Structure 1
């Protein structure tokens, strides 16, 4: 294994694993595996890039740092030469968030002299200009992220936001330098005196050029876009042969679980509900114990073959009301446990295609399924929509899994994902 990724949630891990596996340049991609947490065994010998999925995005700083260092040590033991700390392309955190502390700890452990921060993902409209993060044509704080129930982003200036989280001064590599040739970019980067540097990027070409400059960097941080050029570095050096992602279509019963409250996911649920059965999970009922995994299993089995969807997605106001009544952590823990147990029961009942929406929900489901199937490594298959691949879990009675971040995917994502799992393209 040459490249190791530490991802702070499971959908983000799938996102960057997809980037590494497919490649964007003619050279192709790398044989990539995604792991549900830090494995207790060595990685398969044919893996070029390994992505460790953590649930650390909203964790306390000390816990996030400890988990990330554990992941780092495992990746280094697998032979990784380069480490990527992957966070969301909307830099999800708070002023007191853990992106800065985790980056500091990883940089110290790797003795990294300079560390790039670049959450840009132009394919989905996330760009960085003058150190400010944009979603489409809107500054981050005007995009709806300011109302996020867990990580409200109220400032688009990534330099300033990161400055709240770290004692390191934060520098800036402006677009006027990033648009030049890689050697000139390298020279501009060397002139910046700070250890932490936010880099502008508004196109895939900017990210490819940054990737060339960072070929020998011990530590890189960013969204999945920062990895666009990394497979090319490995393949051009002749370290591994080009890999073609291989995916064998999977047939069998299907289910969709949605725990995201993002506007995009709510729209996808509304679209899906026009043609497929849906079950709105009553959160107070879950908290009282009236709604259990058996409730959902009964729903799925009653509608097998018609892409049934169960969801706990609500408006931000609904979410706040439930959090106020029952406690934020209590609601999150109960729903995560419900979705996790439901997924395990689905697999036991022979369900082979499972689509999950929401970062926290995806983490709970992937960890539970990985443990139940005894399969820590998830192979990366075809891309469903930008940033969301099909994952294959287990060697016998393989389960196809799609982990969708709340804001990702086209309006018909759920049906499309299930169809692609079955036909392979």
Structure 2
């Protein structure tokens, strides 16, 4: 028995998140069901799990693979997935965004599918699941739909944000067709009709597909009953193979499995009753998001008295201006916070901000690709955030933007997070763990571009829940 086996963690599930906001989404889904879960920034040593998180039954690793190339995935993600499989979990989940963000060049889910087939050769197929009814994400006959705040629900290729995403715009709602641009591996479908009926009949339909030539099977999700059915089928497949089943999907994987685990008595039947964390007098918001939802939240917070500071990223590209610009921004933010103000540092006011086009042109001028620019902005914002925290007594911060969240969090000097409280679905408040006294216990909310209503920033400051 190796050291990992002795730890008695992750017997149910472990996951790798393709970005940080998606990782906390999966963390929330498990924690809300009473499953002790911890999210790490790097694969944890067995001794760390045993000593500091002895009760954890699931854990995750927050990554940034949504913003990297297939070549980088081959180098970085492959070893991570192999390491995850060594922990002995029943299910190894590669966590993707619930809007299926990906392209052949960036964050390729098709590449992950190929890695999974190579690294987990013993399983019959790889389950694919993206729908999360709680988050207004639905898959119907293979086509994916997503809510857009209070504006309704749209097919992905007509979604007001995802169809115009700056890095991975969605021009196809049929997820199998979308994947066909990223991999040649065939993907089958368990559609709505196949998921309906008696368990034995549903299982027979899956068996027909699982014994065919498909390397993966996509599960439709329209409502909670079908989500639970998908969870039962995925769990049965994991038990069939003796554990280590590799799956790809959104936090719908966690919601599906926990629904089945509750039915089987593997976890508590009642959801967690979160204790309100209370309010703080000031909040620091760091936003690299340019989604319409974040734009609305920014405008609402400014009307509520938050102080907005637009980050002059272009000035940071030239050595002659960078140092002075960063120092001036740091001093201004610290001064306002010490005066009792909540502060928002933002790179764009919304998707129509002219600064976005100018910044892209500036990055191209400096020979930087999309992935490089996201890493540059996030890393610099992370260093700035850490400097602000070092000079203030803030206890709670919010980071907006999937890619931004990953790079900022990596700069803070923390090694893990746990779920402190739910704010809105997909946007929990987390507690940070760090060897640095200043960062240990820091409360952190990581918000994807599509998460939350207009008052989300203030909800986080108040520690409240809609």
TM-score computed with the length of structure 1 as normaliser: 0.89
CA contact (8 A) 2:117 2:215 kept: no
Structure 1 residues 33 and 294: CA distance shift in structure 2, 3 A: farther
**Residue among 333, 337, 343 paired with 1:308:** 343
**Residue among 252, 255, 270 paired with 2:299:** 270
**Residue among 89, 99, 109 paired with 2:98:** 89
Root-mean-square deviation over aligned CA pairs: 2.5
1:346 matched residue in structure 2: 388
CA contact (8 A) 2:275 2:421 kept: yes
Give, in angstroms, the shift of residue 184 of structure 1.
2.7
Deviations 1:393-421 (A, max 9, x none): 0275510000000111111101101211x
Deviations 1:337-387 (A, max 9, x none): 221112212332332101010011100122122xx2xx4221112111111
Structure 1 residues 107 and 30: CA distance shift in structure 2, 3 A: farther
Q: What is the distance in 1 between the residues matched to 2:465 and 2:223?
A: 29
Q: What is the distance in 1 between the residues matched to 2:133 and 2:266?
A: 29
CA contact (8 A) 1:37 1:367 kept: no
Match status 1:336 vs 2:363: no
Give, in angstroms, the shift of residue 188 of structure 1.
1.2
Structure 1 residues 71 and 209: CA distance shift in structure 2, 3 A: same
Q: What is the distance in 1 between the residues matched to 2:331 and 2:158?
A: 39
2:4 matched residue in structure 1: none
CA contact (8 A) 2:276 2:421 kept: no
Q: What is the distance in 2 between the residues matched to 1:293 and 1:361?
A: 20
Give, in angstroms, the shift of residue 40 of structure 1.
5.2
CA contact (8 A) 1:89 1:224 kept: yes
2:252 matched residue in structure 1: 225
1:399 matched residue in structure 2: 442
1:390 matched residue in structure 2: 429
**Residue among 12, 15, 19 paired with 1:9:** 19
Q: How many residues align?
A: 414
Give, in angstroms, the shift of residue 22 of structure 1.
0.6
Deviations 1:181-231 (A, max 9, x none): 443322211111212112211112221111011114312221112211323
TM-score computed with the length of structure 2 as normaliser: 0.82
1:134 matched residue in structure 2: 145
Q: What is the distance in 2 between the residues matched to 1:181 and 1:7?
A: 34
Q: What is the distance in 2 between the residues matched to 1:293 and 1:356?
A: 21
Structure 1 residues 235 and 203: CA distance shift in structure 2, 3 A: closer
Q: What is the distance in 1 between the residues matched to 2:228 and 2:75?
A: 31
2:3 matched residue in structure 1: none
Structure 1 residues 73 and 246: CA distance shift in structure 2, 3 A: farther
Match status 1:211 vs 2:231: yes
- Provide the secondary structure at the position in 1 that maps to 2:123: coil
145-154 or 337-346, which deviates more: 337-346
2:169 matched residue in structure 1: 152
Deviations 1:20-58 (A, max 9, x none): 1112xxxxx310111123335643322111111110112
2:78 matched residue in structure 1: 69
1:26 matched residue in structure 2: none
Structure 1 residues 245 and 300: CA distance shift in structure 2, 3 A: farther
CA contact (8 A) 1:38 1:70 kept: no
Q: What is the distance in 2 between the residues matched to 1:202 and 1:241?
A: 25
Give, in angstroms, the shift of residue 248 of structure 1.
8.0
Structure 1 residues 296 and 184: CA distance shift in structure 2, 3 A: farther
Q: What is the distance in 2 between the residues matched to 1:357 and 1:306?
A: 19
Q: What is the distance in 2 between the residues matched to 1:324 and 1:166?
A: 31
Q: What is the distance in 1 between the residues matched to 2:154 and 2:256?
A: 26
CA contact (8 A) 1:146 1:153 kept: yes
- Provide the secondary structure at the position in 2 that maps to 1:228: helix
Structure 1 residues 334 and 47: CA distance shift in structure 2, 3 A: same
1:417 matched residue in structure 2: 460
226-235 or 213-222, which deviates more: 226-235
Deviations 1:293-338 (A, max 9, x none): 6614532432443321111124445323311232244542332122
**Residue among 261, 265, 277 paired with 1:249:** 277
2:197 matched residue in structure 1: 180
Q: What is the distance in 2 between the residues matched to 1:171 and 1:183?
A: 20
